[in-house]
Amino acid sequence: MALGYHGKLYILAFDHRGSFQKKMFGIDGDPTPEETATITDAKSLIFDAMVVAAEAGEESDALGVLVDEQFGGDVPGMARKHGLKLAMPVERSGVDTFDFEYGEEFGEHIERFDPDFSKVLVRYNPDGDAEGNRAQVERLKRLSDWLHERDRKFLFELLVPAEPDQLDSVGDDVDRYDAELRPELMRRAITEFQDAGIKVDVWKIEGVDEQSDCVMLAEQCRSGEGNSGVTCVLLGRGASNEKVDHWLYQAAPVEGFIGFAIGRSIWWDPLKAFLDGSMERDVAVAKIAENYTRFIEVWRQAA
């Protein structure tokens, strides 16, 4: 199977696990069965919003969900039933260095759920800890080989956290780091993964403020033998609508960007309101669906 993905992708991401249970529910450590059921129900609510959006006539072949096995309940199966693209995470939640959620059994879990995309979240700064970076590359190469030997698609979410000296060089200004340093660090990170033989079909990319940086990143993702079909989607980072809109407007017109994978920016506030009793369930579902379809419309306008 050729490397890459053709077509649009509008992914509603709710595969959050450790951060979700702690920040949304205040649960530390392993949740009890009752707490797990509560979290699973919250994810079911988010999925209900996706169904509303799909039934409203959005592009069915472009709609997708990114959901986890731990708290996803029957969402993976329901996504299949509704004809939605399914992406599922492979990484262990809450760790800085990539590792497999299910250890040596990672392949069994992928085959059991049979997602359209196997996704990883990787925190990698090319100027960061060299030993940690090497360990991540080795594990990711193993996953890449396993997936592509079986004609499975690889969705790679790259985060490039600032090193202390990098942040110091921009006066501890995170916005300056994002604008001035992060784009080139992202390009270098992608290059290092490519040079290591890691084959990615779709890169899940942090938003950048300048369209020229989107062009640079898309070109890097497509550089090298066999990578001409590789594409990118934009992630939301839980940012405000205004910020995410700006990122979408920079990315959407660029060849190689095919959509987004946005999560908290879409569902956090309505879900929080439902959980604290200030919003009825059906209203929260409708609001999440509205937020999701709004980003689709922004993408279309920008493109």
Task: Say which CATH number the domain at 197 has.
Answer: 3.20.20.70
Domain count, the chain: 1
- Read off the pLDDT band of 90 (50, 70, 90): very high
Token output for 251: 């990315």
Determine, yes or no, domain membership for 192.
Answer: yes
Determine, yes or no, domain membership for 3.
Answer: no
pLDDT at 60: 79
Average pLDDT value over all residues in the chain:
96
Q: What mean pLDDT is predicted for residues 182-195?
A: 98
Give the chain's end-to-end CA distance (angstroms, integer): 28
Determine, yes or no, domain membership for 151.
Answer: yes
Q: What residues contact 244, with CB distance under 8 A and at least 6 apart? A: 207, 236, 262, 265, 295
| Domain interval for residue 245 | 9-302
pTM: 0.95
pLDDT tens string 17-65 = 988 999 999 999 899 999 999 999 999 999 999 999 999 877 779 999 9
pLDDT tens string 126-135 = 999 999 999 9
Determine, yes or no, domain membership for 2.
Answer: no
Cα–Cα distance measured from residue 140 to residue 145, given in angstroms and rounded to the nearest whole number = 9
- Strands, E assignment, the chain: 9-14, 63-67, 85-89, 117-123, 153-159, 202-205, 231-235, 257-262
Determine, yes or no, domain membership for 61.
Answer: yes
Determine, yes or no, domain membership for 4.
Answer: no
CB 66 within 8 A of CB 267: no
Determine, yes or no, domain membership for 64.
Answer: yes
Determine, yes or no, domain membership for 286.
Answer: yes
pLDDT at 1 > cutoff 70: no
